[in-house]
Amino acid sequence: MESLPLSEPVLLILVSLAEQPRHGYSILKNVEEMSDGRVTLSTGTLYGALRRLLEDRWIERFKEEESSRGRQAYRLTARGRQILRAEVGRLKHLTKVASLRIAPKEM
């Protein structure tokens, strides 16, 4: 897959949107929650990432029935989901290999 590996903020944004469509603030909170407060995106960084993901068609705008002014929800596209699956597969493989190598060897 040509776009892998993903950077951590992009991976977390995609994971956040994999569950359900979310608007900007909800993505920020969810990313913070998933990373145990380690990754805190600023608003400027988040919207730079969202613009790029929209341009690459990994995410799309999602029209909510009850959306307040100034709130726009986003959701994963089929392509975004496919890339996320490939990245998760890559990470699983890496974790498996690393776990085998760091496990204590039998004497």
Q: Shortest gap between Cβ of 16 and other proteins (angstroms)?
A: 13
Which of 35, 46, 75, 91 binds other proteins (CB under 8 A)? It is 46
Element (H, E) at 97: helix 78-102
CA–CA separation, 61 and 54 (whole Å) = 8
CA–CA separation, 47 and 52 (whole Å) = 8
Decide if residue 85 touches other proteins (CB under 8 A): yes
Decide if residue 86 touches other proteins (CB under 8 A): yes
Our CB check for other proteins shows the closer of 20 and 48 to be 48
Nearest CA to 3 among 41, 56, 64, 73?
Answer: 56
Is 2 within 8 Å of 86 (Cβ atoms)?
no
Decide if residue 71 touches other proteins (CB under 8 A): yes
Residues 20-39 that bind other proteins (CB under 8 A): 23-25, 28
Give the binding site for other proteins (CB under 8 A): 1-7, 9-10, 23-25, 28, 40-53, 56, 69-72, 85-86, 89-90
